[in-house]
Every structure is written in C-alpha cells, then in structure tokens.
Amino acid sequence: MTNRTDALQELLEDPRFIAWVTGNADDLEDYWNNWAADNLMRRETLDQARSLVKAIEGKPIPVSDTHIKRSVERALQEAKRQEIVQPPVIIRPLYQQWWAVAASVLLVIGLGWLAFTIQTPRSIYDQKVAQVNHTGRLIIEVRNDTRPIQHVQLPDGSSVLLQKNSRISFPQQFRPDKREVYLTGEAFFEVMKNPAQPFLVYADELVTKVLGTSFGIKAYANDPAITVVVKTGKVSVFTQSDRQFTHLDSSRTLTGLVLSPNEQVTYERKESRLTRVLVEKPTLLNIPIEKQLFIYQETPIATVFADLEKAYDVNIDFDADVMAQCSITATLGDDPLIQKLTWICKVLEASYELKDGRIIVSGKSCQ
C-alpha cells in the first residue's frame, strides 16, 4: 500500500474486512487490530474504511455494473489527486465523494448491485452519529481498539482520554451555541471553560452537560448502567427520555441533576433510574489523571513533563540538558493538556508544536 487511498481501496475490496466490520467474522478481531497496531496510517485508514461501511448500513444503492465500474475509476482518480494526510477518521455526509467511492467499491466486490443491507440493530451511539451525519455536518470519529488510553484533542482544545474499546465522535467544528460529542465506552474529559458554549456528552441514554470542568464517564452499550463521576467543577446529567429534555439540552445553565466534585451518578438502564452518591476518590476509570492534581512548587520541568506524559499518554520531546535548570511553581489543575502546555511555555519563555503525534518543546536555558 503506497498511500492512504490505495490502502482504503484494498480494505474495501477485502471480503475478510467486510465480514469483520459487519459482525460476521468476530474471530478476525485480533487480526485486524494487529494489522493496524504499529502503523498510524493503517490505523487511521482502517477506522475510515470501517466508518464508510457502517455509514451505508441499510441503504439501497440501485446501480448498474457499468456505472459502478466507471464511478470507481473516476472516484479513485479524484481521491488520489486530492489525497491529504488527515487525523482520525472523518465521516463525511453521504452525498460527498468518499461515500461514492465506498459505495461503488463495496458493490464491485460483490456485496450486491441492487442494495447493501445489514440487519444488525444499531446502537444508540451509532444512531445519534448517523443523525448528525445526515444533517451534512462533517463528523470525526476516534476509536481506541488497542491502547490502554488515547489522548484526543477536540476542536475547542478540550482533552479526552479515551479508554480501550471505546469510541468518540464530534463535529470538525463545534456550533456557536454548544459543543456536542458522542461517546460509547469510557473516557475522561477536561473541558475548556466557556459558559457561553455549553459542552454536552451524549453517552447512550444519558447526557452530561458542563461549562468547563473534569469528569469521567463509563457507558458501554451492553452494561446494565452508565456512570458519571466528577473530579472538579460541576456537571449536570439528564436522560434523553426526560420530559424536559429540550429545555435541559438547550439551556446555557446547568439544570437537571447537578453534581459537584467527588460525586457520582449511576443510571440504571433496567429501572430508568438515576442515583447520586458521594465518593471519597473519583477514580471511576482508574487512570493516573484522576489522581493527579498538577500542583507544583519549584518543580524541575523534567518532572512536570514526565507527569504530563504519564497522565495523557503522550510523548514530550525537549532538550533536557538545555532546560536542566528550569522549574515552575504553578497549579495547572483541570485545564486541558493544550492549556497546560501553553501556560508552561509562557512561564519558561518557550514554545511547543505538535508533530507526528509528538509534542516538541523548544526552550532556552534557565540559568
């Protein structure tokens, strides 16, 4: 595979891949995860191909063989011409070019020239993402199938630590009035503060709404309950079946069941009941960041960077010799990673950049 377009085409032409995505070859789970594990392009292309297959579930596509062949040739030529390296898989509206590529290639490989229909029931998460996709908004999906945690930076700078076997979707650009993300699985959030633009997480039946805080959510589709725990700030939670859902969802204030730090709420699916309790330590996901306060007193910068690497599962490159005498005194708190780095660099008169999945800090001596 020489580039992303060729890799995408090969996946969509592989019957084993189609069988795995459509739930007819669970025994291939390890094969495909290993195939993409150590190669960023493969992982992103696999996510994109899987999303393309999922996106046309249950949609009739009546076309002729001749039309299919010509469409494939034209679409792939155009895709190769416009090919760019992108971050996590982008789910484009159905009428855009990538859908034409996916639908055509899938049909060419023999999945049916009259229709491609999958009978497997769709999860609440998939339904919500499909609804947003049909509005024409560009949706990005990130899924973590292999790593213990994966740091995801949202369009507003907020941080998400996505647990293994979890997925999150969000628009390429948030709406002016609110920030909406969709989760299935487990994740820890550090939300950029903006009272004028509430932040909402739709996790199956439950909605978590914040203005800027840190909290964890555990919401697997097959679990009997959904749990939210607050580390800092306040959040409100309510169900999508609540009679006041429209008001709760659109309001710029925290309404519904409001939680404070060290409080946890559990939604029991069977009883459709919310239960709030006080917890001594908000460690729902049992990851380092839930216990880290990021309080520093003349702390060597190497130690600070090591804390950030551990908490966010990222790599920070800096010249340890040049910055050996640098230290900071600060409380970085619950702000997202990007904000923490901005503050650190401002204090040290340094700068940083994100390159190839790494954070590169350029600074000078503090002697």
CB 149 within 8 A of CB 186: no
Lowest mean pLDDT among 65-74, 127-136, 252-261: 65-74
Triad 250, 252, 253: Cα angle to 5°: 115
pLDDT, mean of residues 287-314: 92
The residue count of the chain comes to: 367
Residue 337 CB contacts under 8 Å (≥ 6 apart), including other chains: 151, 153, 159, 190, 308, 312, 314
| Measured distance CA(314)–CA(79) in Å, rounded | 32
CB 332 within 8 A of CB 288: no
Give the pLDDT confidence score for residue 114 in this predicted structure: 30
Give the pLDDT confidence score for residue 82 in this predicted structure: 46
CATH class of 125-278: mainly beta
Question: Which regions of 191-241 does DSSP assign to beta strands (E)?
Answer: 199-203, 206-210, 214-219, 225-232, 235-239
| Measured distance CA(49)–CA(147) in Å, rounded | 20
**At 173, is the secondary structure helix, strand, or coil?**
coil
pTM metric for this prediction: 0.68
Tens-digit pLDDT profile for residues 1-13: 456 677 777 787 7
Give the pLDDT confidence score for residue 337 in this predicted structure: 93
Give the pLDDT confidence score for residue 116 in this predicted structure: 38
Q: Check for a shared fold between 125-278 and 292-362.
A: no
Tens-digit pLDDT profile for residues 56-114: 544 443 444 444 445 445 544 544 444 443 445 554 444 344 444 444 544 444 343 23
Buried b (16+ CB within 10 A) or exposed e, 344-353: beeebebebe
| Measured distance CA(15)–CA(109) in Å, rounded | 8
Task: Pick the closest to residue 111 from 45, 51, 66, 60 (CA basis).
Answer: 60
Q: Which residue ranges make up each domain of the chain?
A: 4-120, 125-278, 292-362
pLDDT, mean of residues 316-330: 93
Q: Which fold has domain 292-362?
A: Phage tail protein beta-alpha-beta fold (3.55.50)
